[in-house]
Structures are given as C-alpha cells and as structure tokens.
Amino acid sequence: MELSEQEVIRRESLQKMRDMGIDPYPAAEYPVTGYSIDIKSTFEDDNQEAAWYNGKPVRIAGRLMSRRIMGKASFIELQDSKGRIQVYVSRDDIQAPTPEGETATSVEQQMYNVVFKKLLDIGDFIGIEGFTFRTQMGEISVHAQKLTVLAKSLKPLPIVKYKDGVAYDGFNDPEQRYRQRYVDLVVNEGVKDVFLKRATIIRTMRQVFDEAGYTEVETPILQTIAGGASARPFLTHHNALDVDMYMRIATELYLKRLIVGGFEGVYEIGRNFRNEGMDRTHNPEFTCMELYVQYKDYNWMMQFTEQLLEKIAIAVNGTTQVKIGDNIVDFKAPYRRLPILEAIQEKTGHDLSQMTENEIRVVAKSYGVEDTEKMGKGKLIDEIFGETCEGSFIQPTFITDYPVEMSPLTKMHRSKPGLTERFELMVNGKELANAYSELNDPIDQYNRFMEQMKLADKGDDEAMIIDHDFMRALEYGMPPTSGIGIGIDRLAIFMTGQPSIQDVLLFPTMKPEK
C-alpha cells in the first residue's frame, strides 16, 4: 500500500506517542460530562465584573477539527456528536517539557509534548478535562487542564477551507460522499441532521401506531415466493435446504396472515428488495412501513394517513409546510381525493373507462409507452398515468379507485363495477403510499392470482405468483381489513428536502470500487 506524505507523517507521530509511553488507542472508558451544544446553551457568566469567567468543570471528548498554536497558547476546535466547541490550552498550566531522551511521566508532561510538539493531527479523537469560560472575543470555550489521546487518525480529513465566503477543498463529489459516508458526516455540515430527521420520522411513526394499540412485528426476508407486490425480485440460494429463495419485495402477505391470526393491527418497518432500476428516487433495497388494521377500509386509512403525515411533518420541521426543491408542499390535512381514471381524463382528455384493452394499448403507445404487447389492461393504465399525470400532483393527493386489473390484492369497489377500493398518495409528483380495502374473499383472491399467472405467461416479469399458503390462511377467514405501505426513504426525501434517495440513505447501493 502506497502512503501519501501526510499518512507517513501521521504514522511517525503515532510512533512518537508510543515511544513516549502514550497509548494512542486506549481501552479504558472515557465518560463525558457534557456536550458542545449543551455547554454553550447553559453557560452563565457568574461574575459581572469579570464576565469572561465561568469556571464550571467539564469533561468532553471528540474529534480535533482545527488547531492553532500561538506562542504559549494553543486553540483547538473539538467536534463531538452534537456540534463544535473551542478548547484553550496554555503552556503556563502544564509542566515544563520533558528533556530529550527521557520519557514523559505525568499527564501534564504528556499533554505538553502531544500539543506543542504537534503530534496531534486533524481528525484525532481526544478527551479534555477543564473548565468553561468566555474568551475576550466573547466565544464560550473550555480551558484544558488535562488532555487524553483517545484515537489517532491515520488518514487526513478533506477539511473545507473558506476565503471571502467561498468554500474550497470541499468533499462534494456525490460518488465519494455516498461511498465514504463516514467522511461526509464528519466534514459536511448538515448531513448528519438529515439522518437525525429520518430517525425522527420513524420514531414518530412508531409512536402514533403504538398509541393506537397496534403491534410492531417482524416477518421473513427470505421467502420461497416473492409476493405482496408487482416487482422483480432478487434470487438467492439456501444451502442448508438446497432451495432457491427470494429476497422479499413486500411484507403484505405475512402481515395479513397475522390479521387472520387475531391481531387487531400489525405493522413492520423494514427492508424490501427489488431487482429493478436505480435512479434518484429508487434504490434496490429500501425501507418500507406496512400497516394492517382489522375492521377498517380505505376511507378510514386515508384519514389516518393524512393525520399521520401531518404529525410527522410537525415533529421533523415544526410546521406542516416543507420546501421540496422549488415547491412548498403542505402536509396539513385533509388532502384532495381523485379517482385515477378521472385524473387521466382530466390531464389527457381520454376516457379509458369506455375503452377496450386494445384501444388503451393504442393510447399508451401514443404517449411513448414501450413493450405494450406484454402488458395487460391494468399495467397499461398504470403506465399512462405515470407518463401523463403522476408528475403533476405536487400537493398531497389521494389517487383512488384503481381498475381491478391493477390491484390483485384489493377488494372490489362497493359501488363502482370494475374498480377497487385502493388509493395511492402522490406528493411532489411521486408515489408515497399505496393502500387498500384488503381483499378477504378467498375465491375472488384465487381468481385474481390466476389472472396474474396469465400475465406472467405473456412475459410480465412483475406479475404476482400464487401463494398457496396465503390462500389457505384466507380460507380460515380474514376480517374486513385496511392496509397501507409507505416508502420511508421517499418520505425522508420529502420531509428533509433532499434531492435524491441517495441523500437519505446512509449507504446507498453502488457499483464496486475498481
């Protein structure tokens, strides 16, 4: 491995520390008593005549992000898990340097040698014991009395430098940022906040479900049948059983088995896997929440969903309004409700409800949809909606009442023949949620699966495969149920105003490095 000049120098400093008897990677616990942001927010000037002094003892730890040696003093900027704070180190507070050829025997001597012989580097983890004070420039700081090396950094960080308000040497290349997220989080301001907000989204969602009395569960990721959605699965092999298995594309069919088993409401927040394209809004593995509640329908689920998203928006941003790109999206309930065929007619002038499959195929081709011969009526309508309508719905909008051919797991509409009780929630031109009044008629469900098998025979590699065990569960009886799936990654994009799914995934899928 060829080392850069900086890496060589850091390794030399590492060895000098060890020669001095300093362990650069100590195993002992280093309990802190405060964090940068808390020290600053709670600082009070105790003496009005000497307002710079506070004197409260603190013990902090973090990564060294800058260092300035100015004669008998050194200023260090320390970054902990919550922010940054300045640390002041004075030669007058520590003993004289260790003579050449001798080993430092005290904490003070070690600190002198580490700081003033410049053995510390940007990126090193250190611990500081001292007291708080305000400098003559008015900056709340920590006056160091003891310093402990906690971890030596052997690679230099790409520290951003500013001149006349312009940033230089930034760590800005998207591929580098996504591939080396650990560096991105350290040096780029605001990146960590995105993932803290993502955690708030999930935490708020759990809180709402738990308060409603619903149970969080876990279902299999490895499945013998990839069911619950129309998608292309990943295939793997189970050596012990000597069978091929699929990575799950959805949790739906297992969660509905639990409704059959007697749960009032169940939800799961977990990874799904779809062997499909990658772009700014799609990743092959993604996080999805699915919720199923007995004795509810899709009308109830629309109300529940808009109330849920309103609470999440407020928890994350303090308001229901979120800036997404150039748009201001308001998650304040209620949201518009619009049947899908009316949406298509509104945008294109075509009334697909009065057309045959071949006539719809002609319309699809006119809007640039390819490979229409492999598609059934439902897939054609879905493609037309995607090409002509989806991108126009910026404010949250429930697109409802999908044709039965598009919805093999959905209950038939109670008053509209040929349609189902299903909605998709559109936000900022993208689908955020998909929900049904769940089909619980086992005979109807079996017939729907058989229609899906015919689509698979025509070449549709996203058609569902019949799941006989799920059919058996339905035959034992499933109560009226409503279910919904919400893409957590896309919700995080919206709630944090990020430009792509890669910006809300800590480690997005990428090609292997050469």
Could you tell me the sign of the dihedral formed by the alpha carbons of 134, 136, 137, 138, in that order? positive
Burial of residue 47, with CB atoms counted within 10 A of its CB: 0-12 exposed, 13-18 middle, 19 or more buried: exposed
User: Taking a C-beta distance cutoff of 8 angstroms, is the pair 106, 93 a contact?
Assistant: no
Closest CA to 496 of 190, 235, 240: 190
Q: What is the pLDDT of residue 405?
A: 84
Domains within the chain, CATH numbers bracketed: 5-157 (2.40.50.140), 191-335+395-503 (3.30.930.10)
Mean pLDDT of 295-303: 98
> For residues 345 and 347, what is the distance between their CA atoms, to the nearest angstrom?
5
Task: Report in angstroms the alpha-carbon separations of 249 from 260, 285, 390, 495.
Answer: 21, 9, 23, 24
Give the pLDDT confidence of 441-451 residue by residue, as tens digits.
999 999 988 98
Identify the weakest region by mean pLDDT among 243-247, 278-282, 288-292, 310-314: 278-282
DSSP sequence for 175-234? HHHHHTHHHHHHHSTTHHHHHHHHHHHHHHHHHHHHHTT-EE----SEESS--SSSSPPP
Could you tell me the sign of the dihedral formed by the alpha carbons of 98, 104, 107, 112, in that order? positive
Tell me which of 503 and 418 has the higher pLDDT.
Answer: 503
Give the pLDDT confidence of 468-483 residue by residue, as tens digits.
999 999 999 999 999 9
Task: Report in angstroms the alpha-carbon separations of 361 from 348, 350, 352, 380, 512.
Answer: 15, 12, 10, 7, 40
Give the pLDDT confidence of 80-105 residue by residue, as tens digits.
999 999 999 987 776 444 555 555 55
Whether residue 403 is preceded by a cis peptide bond, meaning omega within 30 degrees of 0, is no
> For residues 316 and 320, what is the distance between their CA atoms, to the nearest angstrom?
9
Identify the weakest region by mean pLDDT among 49-53, 105-109, 137-141: 49-53
The CA R_g of the chain, rounded to the nearest whole Å, is 30
SS (H, E, C) 341-375: HHHHHHHHCCCHHHCCHHHHHHHHHHCCCCCHHHC
Identify the weakest region by mean pLDDT among 46-60, 131-145, 215-229: 46-60
Beta bridge partners of 140: 134
> For residues 18 and 321, what is the distance between their CA atoms, to the nearest angstrom?
55
Q: In what order do the strands lie in the sheet with 481-487?
A: 215-216, 265-273, 285-294, 481-487, 430-437, 422-427, 397-400, 336-339
> For residues 328 and 28, what is the distance between their CA atoms, to the nearest angstrom?
50
User: Taking a C-beta distance cutoff of 8 angstroms, is the pair 503, 285 a contact?
Assistant: no
Residue 453: φ, ψ to 5°: -65, -35
User: Taking a C-beta distance cutoff of 8 angstroms, is the pair 215, 198 a contact?
Assistant: no
User: Taking a C-beta distance cutoff of 8 angstroms, is the pair 424, 433 a contact?
Assistant: yes
Closest CA to 122 of 185, 64, 170, 182: 64
Predicted TM-score of the model (pTM): 0.90
Parallel, antiparallel or unpaired: strands 222-223 and 243-247:
antiparallel
**pLDDT higher than threshold 50 for residue 51:** no
Mean pLDDT of 13-23: 91
User: Taking a C-beta distance cutoff of 8 angstroms, is the pair 344, 381 a contact?
Assistant: yes
Q: Within 13 Å, how many C-alpha atoms sit on residue 100's CB side?
A: 0
Identify the weakest region by mean pLDDT among 35-39, 234-238, 404-408: 404-408
Task: Report in angstroms the alpha-carbon separations of 134 from 44, 336, 385, 394, 413.
Answer: 10, 54, 61, 49, 69
> For residues 129 and 275, what is the distance between their CA atoms, to the nearest angstrom?
52
**pLDDT higher than threshold 90 for residue 372:** no
Tell me the three state secondary structure of residue 50: coil
**pLDDT higher than threshold 60 for residue 53:** no
> For residues 471 and 467, what is the distance between their CA atoms, to the nearest angstrom?
6
User: Taking a C-beta distance cutoff of 8 angstroms, is the pair 110, 128 a contact?
Assistant: no
| Matching residue, tokens 């960080």 | 157
